[in-house]
Amino acid sequence: MIDIVDRFIEYAKIYTTSDESSETCPSTARQKDLGNLLVKQLKEMGIDNAHMDENGYVYASLESNLDRESKSIGFISHMDTAPDMSGENVKPQILEYKGGDIKLSDSVTTTVEDFPFLKDLEGQTLIHTDGTTLLGADDKSGIAIIMDAVNKLCENKDIKHPTIKIGFTPDEEIGRGADLFDVEKFGADFAYTLDGGPIGELEYENFNAAGATITIHGKNVHPGSAKNTMINSQLIGMELFNELPVAQRPEHTEHYEGFYLLTSFEGTVENTVMKFIIRDHDKKKFEEKKSYLEKLVEFLNVKYNNAIELDMKDSYYNMKEKIEPVMEIVDLAYKSMEDVGVKPLVQPIRGGTDGAQLSYKGLPCPNIFTGGYAFHGKHELLSIDQMKKASDLVLKIIENYSK
């Protein structure tokens, strides 16, 4: 049997970064390299129905061995890594962590001062980067956990289980992971995404999310003759940004507090494009944030003669609304964590997962920890101890449901 650590390292080395500018699905063909490997490994376990569709989604089903009818449980993770930092030529490093700062390279160090969670990881075995790429624990640790647990089910026929549905998605990091996921074909009654962070995380609430693109048209003339003529689109953009509440920026928010985030600002005197993401757990506050931005644009358009265009679209919604009617699936995960010696940490996701969109497509889908930290950057790391505990948790969820 392939060790869970070897699985993760093999997956992490496969270049699967997604690309927001691409209009294909998957957004990058390289994601299928991992998909093909997963299908091959699932078939080697004896799951002959494992396959990848034309859009890069991997589906598999391990049939029930119970002597009664039962609902089927799904486990889902995503194959892509975030475009925030290079995911090419990843070189995972294993460390028996005794405490203190972690030197990734001659010029890059993960310090306890910057990353105080390191204090909680003393005595654990970690996998970290070499300081030149991200690691890919988000979400290849989730994939390794699912594959490890499913392989144990396949090798030990005495373990009772309902029908287990397995799904691996592309493009989650660019918000498209659930777009073409075939819930009906997947066939699970409920599922869990393995896409969380530190041990104990159990999440069934996430942000409501929207994206906004603001295009500003200025008027450029020679600065020597610009008086009463030039309209600098960049300055209008700065004025707009400064009218948004300072306290509602990500760096000033936590827990259930929402925010506006300016993700890009590109411009000249003639034309400027600003991109925002808007987030809030509370649906009413979410709508208020969008409305405020709309009214701000309207106000500035009066001032600047309709120089501003706003294109705003919702991305996903808080899955809490869809999970609350079936809270027994959260309770199942909660009890199973306690059974494997993990203290459950129920908290809102300050982000989104495939599970949010899947819940609205009819597949209730809470999220579970994988043992990763500091995602999307060169300081990303993974606790092997916690990843193994997450695999134990998957098996315990299956065991408890099968009783």
**Two tokens at 324?**
């609350």
pLDDT of residue 403: 86
Residues 6 or more apart from 299 whose CB is under 8 A from it? none
- The predicted model scores a pTM of 0.90
Task: Tally Cβ neighbours within 10 Å of residue 307.
Answer: 17
- Is residue 257 part of the annotated active site? The answer reads no
Task: Tally Cβ neighbours within 10 Å of residue 118.
Answer: 21
**pLDDT at position 181 over 90:** yes
Report d(CA 309, CA 33) in Å as an integer: 40
Report d(CA 283, CA 184) in Å as an integer: 28
Tokens 């300055």 sit at which residue?
235
**pLDDT at position 281 over 90:** yes
pLDDT of residue 210: 95
**Two tokens at 294?**
């709309």
Catalytic residue selected from 138, 139, 148, 172: 172
Tokens 């989604």 sit at which residue?
57
Catalytic residue selected from 80, 201, 354, 392: 80
- Is residue 239 part of the annotated active site? The answer reads no
Instruction: Provide the pLDDT confidence category of residue 21 given band limits of 50, 70 and 90.
Output: very high
pLDDT of residue 1: 72
Report d(CA 394, CA 337) in Å as an integer: 9
C-alpha dihedral sign at 359, 341, 62, 135: positive
Tens digit of each residue's pLDDT (9 = 90 or more) over 41-57: 999 999 999 999 999 99
Give the residue among 90, 92, 104 at the shortest CA–CA distance from 133: 90
Tokens 């959260």 sit at which residue?
330
